[in-house]
Structure 1
Amino acid sequence: MSTPAGDKRMTVTQATFIGVGSMVGAGIFALLGAAGAVAGSAVWLSFLIAGAIAGLQGYSFAKLGSVYPSGGGLLHYLAKGLGEGHVTGITSWLFYVTAAIVTAMVASSFGGYASSVLTDSDPTWTKVFAIAIVLVMAALNVVGSTAVAKVQSLIVKVVLTILTVFVISTLTNFDPALLAPSGYPGLREIIASVALTFFAFLGFGVITFTAKDLPNPSKQLPTAMYLALGIATTVYVGVSLGVFGTLTADQVVDYGPTALAEAAKPTLGQFGYVLMVITALFSTAGATNSGLYPSAGMTRHLASVGQFPPALGGTVGRRKAPVGLLLLTSFTLVFIVLFDLNKIASIGSAVALLVFTMVTLGHFRLRGETGANVVVLTVALVSTLGTFLVFAGTTLADEPATAVALVAIVVLATATDLVWKRRRDDPAPLGSTRDSGSRS
């Protein structure tokens, strides 16, 4: 159920910015300290390696997207490779629910920054601001993909402009001694930190869902994929060089999420600190927008092939608001209000890595149609699965709440898929057997 070609209004640039906005969100602020604790001032190398791994996965998605463009995005690729059975169904429910968790986390980051500026970090106001940004971005998505693309392009342009100013100003005055290779840790530590920095790239998967809005997705989607990954990698490497060329690794770790703002002070003063806060607000708002965007096309497609109930593919109200979007928004608000998202902070990363791995596994069966290079696919599969295993052995081991939540969501997704498909495949319409029984 794709949008008619005449109604498609998204450009390659806009699709690219949806991907960039999804990647360059709160991650760059939160990751520098955590990665610096492992890789020291070599974090820029970690981002470069993570970008290369993401590029390999992006190659797989681009090849699949050029042959199978769909509003179902990467979940459609999964079905093409592994069929429309329980594996694809369970993965689809898993992806949908975790999308709400990730969007709630990003929105909560927006609420935290807004609250720190306006209410001295009042926890209640943090949730209020988080709820507000979700509702605003949900309303924008109801208006349509054209509005989403235009607003996202504006947000990303502001973020990239400010980050460019930051990179230029810090690199113009950086201390070469702070970035000297002699101060780098061993290769093992640098590789270990890739499991952290790779998570800053996970948002590129959202680009696969833009196919329904692109006039020529077979050519435009791969271009948007590569452009978005190239821009994000350049930004991450430049920012990490600027931060670690201005502050010591220990200072970056101590400052945590405010490391960028602190690194801007020596050259831009308090104005630089304010700029970084503005960047954080824009980037988290953009990431919230990107998090909600795929839901309409995804649920419409999954409902059309029977993986989701038909109702999830429908619309309601005068504005024809997609039910899938409204439900995802509701889940997101529930997570914001009721849960401590810090305790399950890595669940989205774990699910994304598992989904990416399964999509690439399915791609091996389709490479005759996509023309993908088997060596590149193999390296993409090994690197992505390896990243997940390293992540599971470190982050999940240190975050038992995340591990428990992941298992609970997998069980819930499995149960939902089994129950729905049992109802779907029941040869007797609901009510007919019961009605006849009651009459007899």
Structure 2
Amino acid sequence: MATTEENRQFTVFQAAFIGLGAMVGAGIFALLGAAGEIAGAAVWLSFLLAGGIAILHGYSFAKLGAKYPSAGGMLEYMARGFGEGHVTAVTAWLVYAANAIVTAMVAVTFGSYASAVVAGQDQTWAKVFSCLLVVAMTALNVAGSTAVARVQSVIVKVVISILVVFAVVTMVNMEPSLLAPSGYPGVREIVSSVALTFFAFLGFGVITFTAKDLPEPSRQLPRAMFLALGIATAVYVAVALGVFGTLTVDQVIASGGTALAEAAKPTLGQFGYVLMVITALFSTTGAVNSGLYPSIGLAGYLASTGQFPPVFGRFVGRRRASAGLLIMAGATLLMVVFFNLNSIASLGSAVALLVFSAVTFAHFRVRRETGASLIVLVVAVVCTLGTFVVFCVTTLAEEPVTALTLVGIILLSVVVDLLWKRTLRSRGASPGAAR
């Protein structure tokens, strides 16, 4: 669907809120306990390092977006650097798969919280609530970008406001001795936890897909990128300091996904606990909304360039519902219902680390056009691949099922692309012919 000036209705803040909604989702609620097992009370430092890596890639993406604003987002950047061959296509399938995995994980987190409130952790009800959320957010995305932006702005404002209040209250009343550096683990453990906390920043890539809805994407996209990453990093670090300055590491680990709610109890009592549960529901709703949003532009762009089958770019019901969005929603629902997402929770992070590295590698080939700093791009790739290596050594080595699933997703992306390209050749067509 062609982009018109009438469609370009996002402001910088609304574009940033799309990214914030995708970032400040299940990550901050579910990660603290798992990260605490590795980094102890130094989790705040882990978030700071992960935010630094995300900002490095945010710089790369912002430079690319300013030069090549497109509904295809980061996949447009890949095409600029590597052309529209197998590398770009395989990356596209990986992005699509990672987005579905992360969105499903967030939906499951919403279902767990909603079920705890209504049905006492009943797993059947948890799946029902998860599916209802996916359906509702799909309907919102069908309504259009303006509706998505308005709802997302409200959700993010509520979530960020509550998290800021939580951080201030807990930090004012925290016990500094709980955060003493003498109790931190070694550097290796802190670096190892970065691969885990980086999951909380994965959503910033969604901002690249807002270019189609920005009046001046070359100027506004970089601003939205840095605004979202700056706010997310500050909130994550402050929340981690508040939680680990209120609870011991063992208490945080034992609390799991409710660590924020437990940390609110000493100061705010049961009201604080309920408030954080409500925040989790808002936050995960926004993350699912943001997770589904890029599928429209992404699928349409890839179908128009021949990288995806044409069905992904079609619209049904008077061209209101994108087939790419409906396919993404369907894949998300299947994973919610049939897969144990806890066992593959780190997959989204692993795939994203590879994708972000690939995009920045593509940037090297067009750096003279974007004017990006070579040093910043090199540091971004080294930090990201280093994090991925640490992730493989510390996490995948102990989770063979996750490792095999990661390899399976990569191989499946390659096979699907090869089969589709063979079909194109048999028809006498080629990727990019539609551009």
TM value normalised by structure 1? 0.95
Question: 1: CA distance between counterparts of 2:401 and 2:159?
Answer: 33
For 2:232, the equivalent position in structure 1 comes to 232
Tell whether 2:335 aligns with 1:331. no
Tell whether 2:364 aligns with 1:392. no
Question: 2: CA distance between counterparts of 1:67 and 1:130?
Answer: 38
For 2:70, the equivalent position in structure 1 comes to 70
TM superposition shift of 1:81: 0.7
Question: 1: CA distance between counterparts of 2:295 and 2:183?
Answer: 45
Contact 2:113 / 2:277 at 8 angstroms: preserved in 1?
yes
TM superposition shift of 1:319: 5.5
* Shift in alpha-carbon separation, 1:224–1:2, aligned structure 2, 3 A: farther
TM superposition shift of 1:186: 2.6
Contact 2:63 / 2:370 at 8 angstroms: preserved in 1?
yes
Please show how residues 25-40 of structure 1 align to structure 2 within 5 Å: 25-40=25-40
> CA RMSD for the aligned pairs?
1.2
Residue 365 of structure 2 aligns to a residue in which SS? coil
For 1:433, the equivalent position in structure 2 comes to none
TM superposition shift of 1:427: 4.5
For 1:152, the equivalent position in structure 2 comes to 152
Task: Give the AA of the match of 1:64.
Answer: L
* Residue ranges of structure 2 left out of the alignment (5+ in a row): 430-435
Contact 1:2 / 1:70 at 8 angstroms: preserved in 2?
no
| Structure ID, larger Rg | 1
Tell whether 2:202 aligns with 1:202. yes
Contact 1:71 / 1:211 at 8 angstroms: preserved in 2?
yes
For 2:433, the equivalent position in structure 1 comes to none
For 1:179, the equivalent position in structure 2 comes to 179
What is the identity percentage for the equivalent residue pairs of Structure 1 and Structure 2?
67
TM superposition shift of 1:168: 1.3
Tell whether 2:138 aligns with 1:138. yes
Contact 1:174 / 1:245 at 8 angstroms: preserved in 2?
yes
1:242-284 CA deviation, whole Å, 9 max, x = no partner?
Answer: 0011111111111111111111001100000001100110111
Stretches (4+) displaced over 3 A:
none
Tell whether 2:305 aligns with 1:286. no
Question: 1: CA distance between counterparts of 2:384 and 2:98?
Answer: 19
TM superposition shift of 1:178: 1.2
Instruction: Compare 156-165 and 179-188 and name the one that shifted more.
Output: 179-188
TM superposition shift of 1:202: 1.2
TM superposition shift of 1:428: 5.5
Instruction: Compare 334-343 and 259-268 and name the one that shifted more.
Output: 334-343
Aligned length: 429
Question: 2: CA distance between counterparts of 1:144 and 1:378?
Answer: 38
For 1:103, the equivalent position in structure 2 comes to 103
Contact 1:344 / 1:399 at 8 angstroms: preserved in 2?
no
Question: 2: CA distance between counterparts of 1:404 and 1:154?
Answer: 40
Question: 2: CA distance between counterparts of 1:165 and 1:286?
Answer: 19
TM value normalised by structure 2? 0.96
For 2:421, the equivalent position in structure 1 comes to 421
1:380-426 CA deviation, whole Å, 9 max, x = no partner?
Answer: 00001111111111222222222222222222221211111111122
Question: 2: CA distance between counterparts of 1:162 and 1:382?
Answer: 35
Residue 121 of structure 1 aligns to a residue in which SS? coil
Task: Give the AA of the match of 1:367.
Answer: R
For 2:249, the equivalent position in structure 1 comes to 249
Question: 2: CA distance between counterparts of 1:327 and 1:389?
Answer: 32
* Shift in alpha-carbon separation, 1:290–1:201, aligned structure 2, 3 A: same
Contact 2:192 / 2:394 at 8 angstroms: preserved in 1?
no
TM superposition shift of 1:47: 1.0
Contact 1:178 / 1:245 at 8 angstroms: preserved in 2?
yes
Instruction: Compare 396-405 and 77-86 and name the one that shifted more.
Output: 396-405
